[in-house]
Structure 1
Amino acid sequence: MRISRSAVSAVVACCALVGTGACSGSGSGGGSSSGSGTYTFWDPYPQFDSSDAWAKLVASCGTQAGVTLKRTAMDTTDLNNKALLAGQQGSLPDLMMVDNPFVSTLVQAGILTKTSDLGLDTSALQKNIVGAGTTDGAAYGIPIGANTLALYYNKAILSQAGIDPGTVKDWASLTAALEKAKSAGKKGITFGAIGTEEGSFQFLPWFWGAGGDLTKLDSAQGVAALSLWKDWVSKGLAPNDVLSNTQTTSWQEFATGQYAFGENGTWQLANAAKVGFDYGIINIPGQNGGSAPVPTGGEFVTVPVQKDTARYAVDKKIMECLTSNTNLLSTDTTLSYIAPVPAVQDQQVQQNPALKPWVSALAAARGRTSGGLGTKYPVISEQMWTAVQGALSGGKNPQSAMEDAQKAADAHKS
């Protein structure tokens, strides 16, 4: 989940602005007649211009489908807002790449078409990854890939402090490792607890790793997760600036070579190769052992509802091209994503063994809107990151912070 792909709070504001009823899909694709001419495609990858491999793939998939595929790239927040407005105005594109937590919002607004209605088969996809784009048992898109979180560690610091990364199996052993690193004159762990969706994304492995339920933020499990982070900051095992750390600034701290551990994502692999020290990766441990469930990041290829249903045949061809195993392999390598198909994951690991722990992490991953949360998630997430901010700043104790968060979430329902 890169920083620009996580502005879930903007979804709430935009839905309020546009109105759910007004978002009903009635787009025409903005192109010419079905089966020929120009089709339109939006994605949240403005970092890739027409010379990049991704843009060339998009164009080639249009060509293979017998049309010109006009690509428009914008950051995620802009795309989310424009999708809702386009639904109101009847000017939706033929296809969109959508950040996975936003799929349920578009479904509720009546904007997206079921993959089954398009004749697309999702049975080969890893269930927990495709689950992030599933509502009431129906899939509304195909994931292009997924990224998630794990713990990077500095091999030199762990060696100096006498820490065997293989012994870090639960919260107690991780905390003991952080204390050893501090005793050796180094720093413990850095992460991002900023008061945005990014902070929630980073907190979720600990919340879920304690057995937390997002509908019960103030449960003993939720309080335990927040208490863990609070204790680390209070004891100097994590820096005070985690309160303002994004995943980018947190990575920059880890890259100084002073921290034993850093919680971060698949997308930092290219940067990890440049840090100038040996690093390793382990899964984030659950409170009592095992790999903690981690949230999935990444986008889904979706087809908005169209007035001209004959366009769906070409949309399907384009989707099949973009998400073929061959193209997933090249695309996910470019994006530092893990493929949503186990067979392609195996190929990725063969090409780059460093991806193995990420495949393992994703096996335990969850969609943030899964389990029926859907559009309830943004409200819950905002209260969760507010609780984290309150506790880590010292304004509240973890118990009261989570109790207040749950009350606020409940009040929103009513």
Structure 2
Amino acid sequence: MIASQRIRIVGAAVLAAATIGGLAACSSSPSSSQTGSAGGTYTFWDPYPQFDASADWTKLVEQCGKDAGVTVTRTGYDTSALTNKALLAGQQGSSPDLLLVDNPVVSTLADAGILTTTDENKLDVSAIQKNIIGAGQINGKTYGVPIGANTLALYYNKKVLAAAGVDIATVKDWATLTDALAKVTAAGKKGITFSAIGTEEGSFQFLPWFWGSGANLTQLDSAKAQQALSLWTDWVKKGYAPQSVINNTQTTSWQEFATGDYAFGENGTWQLGNVKKAGIDYGILNIPGIDGGSAPAPTGGEFMTIPVQKDTARYATSKKIAECLTSTKSFVTTDNTLSYIAPTAEAQKEQVAANAELQPWVDAVAAAKGRTSDNLGIKYPKISQQLWTAVQTALSGSQTPEAALKAAQTAAAAATK
């Protein structure tokens, strides 16, 4: 995902808590009530306003419509606007025929009764990796097909590590990573940079460490969660991570790593192009769990969904368009363009065959986890807000990790009753 598109990867979850009253100011959406089984026009909304009529993505959408015997009218919205418009259109009975949304938004729209299930629309998800499809599942029902996924890992600077005498092969868990940071800072370089800003981005970046400790989002103040937050807090106190992480977005964090002074930078698949532009001799390391192995990092990426229509005859053609857009051929084309990893093993093999540098990201996605998984659904944004608040409070020194997380758990429990 290119840097200018980062916000749609992780920003949409906050909108799950939007009230219906707050949506009343949105303009009404175009109707998709044209009759549907043969010919006609089908509407498709996605979170890619940066793609105009000449873009490959737009051409693919239009071609899939032609293959299904219809004309597809595509409109791209910013993620925030898309979620609000989708909710309002669903209330008004004027939803688009197809809707591509950031994965945390799926539970919001499903809870509002706006989306059909794959049992209803007959989309086949059997080949999709279970951890990726999990972001679109609520109470045993599946509400769409992921077009791809991205996630987080640690970019590392080989030159900085070599100068500090650090062998990356020895970095296997939190202890060995912290040892590496100590050596790097002792050698006069900088350790690690990440985003701990007080928004969904902060939660997104903290989750691999939170989950990597064995903690669960239903219990923010567990001993394991405290270990995760203490890790970050200690890094900042010791100078292994800069104070700027408190205000860093993923973009500004990346800019720090791109200076070439840092040993590690936590960031996503979407920075692959940028790391090459920076001229850094880099490698990719899966974020380690507390005792080793790959920590589950959160998945980003969108789901292809079919909203509820008054004219149910339209579903058959919408299914054809969706199947075209989520075929192996389309997965590879689209996911390479968007810096995504495909959600099926077959398409992933094609991606890696064409670009071996994607293999670490395929591994990272395999270990990843949806933010709304564990059947959290619309509870996730409320929990996430308390999590990023705790991170901010602890890193600023206002409270200990233990006190910050206890306050977060109390607030989250009250918000999700």
Q: Given the two structures, how large is their TM-score scaled by the length of structure 2?
A: 0.95
Distance 2:415 2:122 in 1: 38
C-alpha spacing 1:16/1:208, structure 2 compared with 1 (3 Å): farther
1:114 touches 1:139 (CA, 8 Å); kept in 2? yes
- Structure 1 moving runs of 4+ over 4 Å: none
Report the counterpart of residue 284 of structure 1 in structure 2: 287
Distance 2:392 2:320 in 1: 46
Q: Does 1:294 align with 2:313?
A: no
The amino acid across from 1:156 in the alignment is K
Q: Deviations over 1:33-54 (max 9, x none)?
A: 4321110000001111111111
2:33 touches 2:310 (CA, 8 Å); kept in 1? no
Q: Does 1:116 align with 2:119?
A: yes
Q: Deviations over 1:178-226 (max 9, x none)?
A: 1111011100000000111111000000000000100000000111100
1:141-180 equivalence runs, <5 A: 141-180=144-183
Q: Does 1:88 align with 2:65?
A: no
Q: Deviations over 1:252-302 (max 9, x none)?
A: 100000100000000111111101121000100000111001110000000
Distance 1:313 1:10 in 2: 30
Distance 1:114 1:348 in 2: 29
> What SS does the corresponding residue of 2:277 show, helix, strand or coil?
coil
1:32 touches 1:39 (CA, 8 Å); kept in 2? no
1:35 touches 1:313 (CA, 8 Å); kept in 2? no
> What SS does the corresponding residue of 1:147 show, helix, strand or coil?
coil
C-alpha spacing 1:54/1:231, structure 2 compared with 1 (3 Å): same
Q: Deviations over 1:108-142 (max 9, x none)?
A: 10000011212221111111101110111221100
Q: Which consecutive unaligned segments of at least 5 residues does structure 2 have? A: none
1:31 touches 1:40 (CA, 8 Å); kept in 2? no
2:154 touches 2:286 (CA, 8 Å); kept in 1? yes
Number of aligned residues = 408
Distance 1:384 1:264 in 2: 19
Q: Does 1:77 align with 2:72?
A: no
Q: Which consecutive unaligned segments of at least 5 residues does structure 1 have? A: 20-25
Q: Deviations over 1:58-114 (max 9, x none)?
A: 110111111110000011111011111111111110000011011011111000001
Distance 1:276 1:153 in 2: 13
Distance 1:143 1:33 in 2: 25
> What SS does the corresponding residue of 1:273 show, helix, strand or coil?
helix
Distance 1:123 1:111 in 2: 23
Distance 1:221 1:182 in 2: 27
Report the counterpart of residue 136 of structure 1 in structure 2: 139
- Give the one of 182, 205, 212 matched to 2:208: 205
> What SS does the corresponding residue of 2:231 show, helix, strand or coil?
helix
Q: State the Cα RMSD in Å.
A: 1.5
Distance 1:113 1:29 in 2: 16
Report the counterpart of residue 385 of structure 2 in structure 1: 382
Q: Does 1:5 align with 2:9?
A: yes
- Give the one of 404, 407, 411 matched to 1:408: 411
The amino acid across from 1:41 in the alignment is F
1:27 touches 1:306 (CA, 8 Å); kept in 2? no
2:116 touches 2:307 (CA, 8 Å); kept in 1? yes
Q: Does 1:360 align with 2:378?
A: no
The amino acid across from 2:367 in the alignment is A
1:149 touches 1:294 (CA, 8 Å); kept in 2? yes
1:92-111 equivalence runs, <5 A: 92-111=95-114
